[in-house]
Chains A and B, each alone.
Chain A
Amino acid sequence: MYKIVAARNVGLNIKQFVIEAPRIARKQKPGQFLILRLHQRGERIPLTIKSSDPEAGTVTIVVQAIGKTTSLLNCLEAGDSILDIVGPLGQPSEIENYGACVILAGSVGTAMALPTANALKQAGNHVIFIEGARNAEMVVFEDEVRQASNETYVMTDDGSYGEQGLVTLKLKALLAAGRKIDFVLAVGPVPMMRAVAQITGPLGIKTMVSLNSIMVDGTGMCGGCRVLLGNKSKFACVDGPEFDASLVNFEVLSQRNAMYRDKECESLKHFEKHKQEELAQLRADLVTSEIETSALESGEPDLASQEAHHA
């Protein structure tokens, strides 16, 4: 059981959690993620680790509610617990002194890119952060972004904050102005990452993208997260999640991410109707799990099974 020690809303449907997970906190590096499961009947979902505090034994994640699991997660508050968290998973970002780096990220992708931006800046790079959002309300972590970069641009679709336009518009503008760019990292929706790859590919700029494929175990055991790189199959959970954008087959990625869309919509609708019951059920389940394990460990088998039945 992993305790939530702090939770706060940071944007529309976006929430930040600080969670006790000492093993993960000790080992986490920028670019890595964790997989969590909320309750006994829950699915496993991957989330990037935004930062960790090895002394306090905590990790920070940022979650955008888009489907059932993320919506339920975002109902939780400090004091609640999460049943299972495993990590850190995936390869850390490759941090080098590249020179000038551009990071493009949108909404929750901003949180995902922050640890890498910080590390790149610390490694002596000149970091240009281009944050995108639909509107002013969706701009998140602006202060942290400014701290993690040497140059910061905020782009909104409707121009309600910063400059109007897509993040790629700013990237093109920088290139058109003759800025030397040595390294690019794009974290966000597939169309955005593909657009970035199309701009930087022909120029031969080393570009990495963080792929959000569907995952189950996160340890290389299922192959569900496989992505096509050139004509090679790679597993995003162990070989990635960051890959060289010039090799990524984005078509296959979006096609595979759509695999469960109908089911996900159904389960989100169901969840929205029964939000309070689901939340109450989750909390009850966690209490049961806790009693069961502690009873077994203290050698009281009967108590464990009885409690499990009563709950």
Chain B
Amino acid sequence: MPESNLLPLKDRMKIPRVRMPELDSQVRSRNFQEVNLGLEAADALTEATRCIACAKPACVIDCPVGVKIKEVVALIYAGDYLAAAAKLREDNALPAVTGRVCPQESQCEGGCVLGKKGAPVAIGNLERFVADFERASGLLGLPAAAPSTGKSVAIVGSGPAGLSAAGDLVQKGHRVRVFEALHELGGVLIYGIPEFRLPKSIVKSEVDNLRRMGVEFETNVVVGKSVTIDELMHNEHFDAVFVATGAGLPRFLGVPGEHFNGVYSANEFLTRVNLMRAYQVSEYDAPVYDCHDRDVIVVGGGNTAMDAVRTARRLGARSATLVYRRSEAEMPARLEEVKHARQEGIEFRMLTNPIEFIGDEKGWLTGARCMKMELGEPDQSGRRSPVEIKGSEYILPANVAIIGVGTTANPLIQSSTPDLKTTSRNYIVADPATTRTSKRGVFAGGDIVTGGATVILAMGAGRKAAAAIDDYLTTSEW
């Protein structure tokens, strides 16, 4: 319990959870500004007061990287935000990101005892507050780097896994070089998650910080094509390689008509809008098929589908409909996104599955033939599996259809590195404790090992890899 916390426990528990101020839903559904506006210091203090500083904080257990939430909250309560930020960074390299995008309801906040009776402490919002304060203060001290070890590490992929590994390794005195296939750094944080949930400037400032710490970045390098892992190790003399290439390959439905103009993968749609900035049409060159005044449907129920449908809305879609084959309870998207999407006028069409796309004679999409579904027995994932209702077919009109039903492993490294063991679904096999692969000196972590997961898990894997790589470089033992 924070020493200075003088309010009795009982009273603290009576304080209602502080609401995150939001941009008005009418306004924001027409622009790309961030939806959540962030807490004021006074609100953060009130929210911090709610924490009853449990002896065995369940919140910490349920955070995948074990952020010392109780201590962070106590420091907020004491008004020492920079110390709170430093405490956060002991376990979490990207707090401004995770505070915004972690599925808190099933992680830290899901564990918080206050949630048993009322609303849990708004841990995500506090995390964001502290990280934003630190960034705005400009007082973010660069951690001292250890003297150079003379060893070097190549990191493939600049998503959360790669970036967090880079930060830890450079601090240990190793030379670190990150290779990224795209022209911008940040992985899904840049090309996938839209500006209105995670402003690009946040990711950029984290990357800039790493640069100042001495991390080298080389964009436009597709490892497996521009250079292979073996060449990195033998010709460019990297002592170890960390593969963090993510699970970026789009999955399509495999139904007839997926080639009609207007059918996109969520990856392409979001990449065009985020990475190529197609939403600033007057300034940027890469076009995206016009959503303005059109009917847009998005297939899927995860964060990706949710981001796509809300993006379509912002591009001026007449109707933006989410089509999901299970019911809302099974949707894997973050709770807050579902809430925000509803406020923005997204239509939810649950228990519906497209079985064919239809188009006109010129090849333009006109609609999706859909089947109504009902929930049957639980499947392997424990979720009740959807079953088609016979004879329930109907046509949902659409000019744009975006498929956001998940992704699979990026394959270019695996196919060019024959001695790297992979699973039957082409994910890289890595020891969960050490992130070691079947190839000496090569480590792997993040979505390329686990399949599409979360930012915090990828980041955790990056830090675990950094520790294991440091160990390997110091002992030379495999």
Encoded as 1 (CB less than 8 Å from any B CB) or 0, chain A from 222 to 264 comes to 1110101000010000100000000001011001101110011
- Cα of A228 to Cα of B258 in the assembled complex, Å: 10
List, in ascending order, chain A residues with CB within 8 A of B394's CB. none
Picked from B250, B276, B289, the residue with its CB within 8 Å of the CB of A44 is B276
Picked from A27, A41, A258, the residue with its CB within 8 Å of the CB of B285 is A41
List, in ascending order, chain B residues with CB within 8 A of A260's CB. 287, 289
- Cα of A44 to Cα of B286 in the assembled complex, Å: 8
Q: Given the known A-B contacts A43-B286, A233-B252, A296-B208, are A219 and B362 also in contact in the complex, defined by CB atoms under 8 Å? A: no
Of all chain A residues, which has the CB nearest B250?
Answer: A223
- Cα of A41 to Cα of B411 in the assembled complex, Å: 29
B98 close to chain A: CB less than 8 A: no
- Cα of A255 to Cα of B219 in the assembled complex, Å: 33
List, in ascending order, chain B residues with CB within 8 A of A76's CB. none
- Cα of A299 to Cα of B290 in the assembled complex, Å: 42
List, in ascending order, chain A residues with CB within 8 A of B220's CB. 84-86
- Cα of A68 to Cα of B259 in the assembled complex, Å: 26
A69 close to chain B: CB less than 8 A: yes
Q: Given the known A-B contacts A41-B283, A219-B410, A222-B265, are A87 and B250 also in contact in the complex, defined by CB atoms under 8 Å? A: no
Separation in Å of the A13 CB from the closest CB of chain B? Answer: 19
- Cα of A218 to Cα of B272 in the assembled complex, Å: 13
Q: Given the known A-B contacts A219-B412, A256-B259, A297-B211, are A224 and B222 also in contact in the complex, defined by CB atoms under 8 Å? A: no
Picked from B225, B248, B250, the residue with its CB within 8 Å of the CB of A27 is B225
List, in ascending order, chain A residues with CB within 8 A of B412's CB. 219-220, 238
Most buried by A among B212, B289, B290: B212
A88 close to chain B: CB less than 8 A: yes
Encoded as 1 (CB less than 8 Å from any B CB) or 0, chain A from 74 to 89 comes to 0000000001111111
List, in ascending order, chain B residues with CB within 8 A of A263's CB. 287, 290
A63 close to chain B: CB less than 8 A: no
In this complex, how many residues of chain A approach chain B with their Cβ under 8 Å: the count is 45
- Cα of A24 to Cα of B218 in the assembled complex, Å: 14
Picked from A37, A88, A224, A296, the residue with its CB within 8 Å of the CB of B225 is A88
A191 close to chain B: CB less than 8 A: no
Picked from B182, B287, B410, the residue with its CB within 8 Å of the CB of A264 is B287
Picked from B211, B259, B271, the residue with its CB within 8 Å of the CB of A217 is B271
Picked from A84, A216, A264, A299, the residue with its CB within 8 Å of the CB of B268 is A216
B363 close to chain A: CB less than 8 A: yes
Separation in Å of the B283 CB from the closest CB of chain A? Answer: 5
- Which B203-227 residues sit within 8 Å CB-CB of chain A? 208, 211-212, 216, 219-222, 225-227
List, in ascending order, chain A residues with CB within 8 A of B249's CB. 220-221
List, in ascending order, chain B residues with CB within 8 A of A150's CB. none
Of all chain B residues, which has the CB nearest A27?
Answer: B226
Picked from B261, B267, B280, the residue with its CB within 8 Å of the CB of A256 is B261
A23 with B221: CB separation less than 8 A? yes
Separation in Å of the A238 CB from the closest CB of chain B? Answer: 8
A42 close to chain B: CB less than 8 A: yes
A226 with B259: CB separation less than 8 A? yes
Encoded as 1 (CB less than 8 Å from any A CB) or 0, chain B from 258 to 270 comes to 1101001101100
Separation in Å of the A123 CB from the closest CB of chain B? Answer: 23
List, in ascending order, chain A residues with CB within 8 A of B410's CB. 219-221
- Cα of A233 to Cα of B289 in the assembled complex, Å: 21
List, in ascending order, chain A residues with CB within 8 A of B259's CB. 226, 228, 233, 249, 252, 255-256
A124 close to chain B: CB less than 8 A: no
Most buried by A among B181, B267, B287: B287
- Which B227-251 residues sit within 8 Å CB-CB of chain A? 227, 248-250
Closest 7 interchain pairs by CB? A255-B363, A222-B268, A43-B286, A86-B220, A223-B265, A43-B285, A263-B287
Hey, which bits of chain B sit against chain A, CB under 8 A?
181-183, 208, 211-212, 216, 219-222, 225-227, 248-250, 252, 258-259, 261, 264-265, 267-268, 271-272, 276-277, 280, 283-287, 289-290, 362-363, 410-412
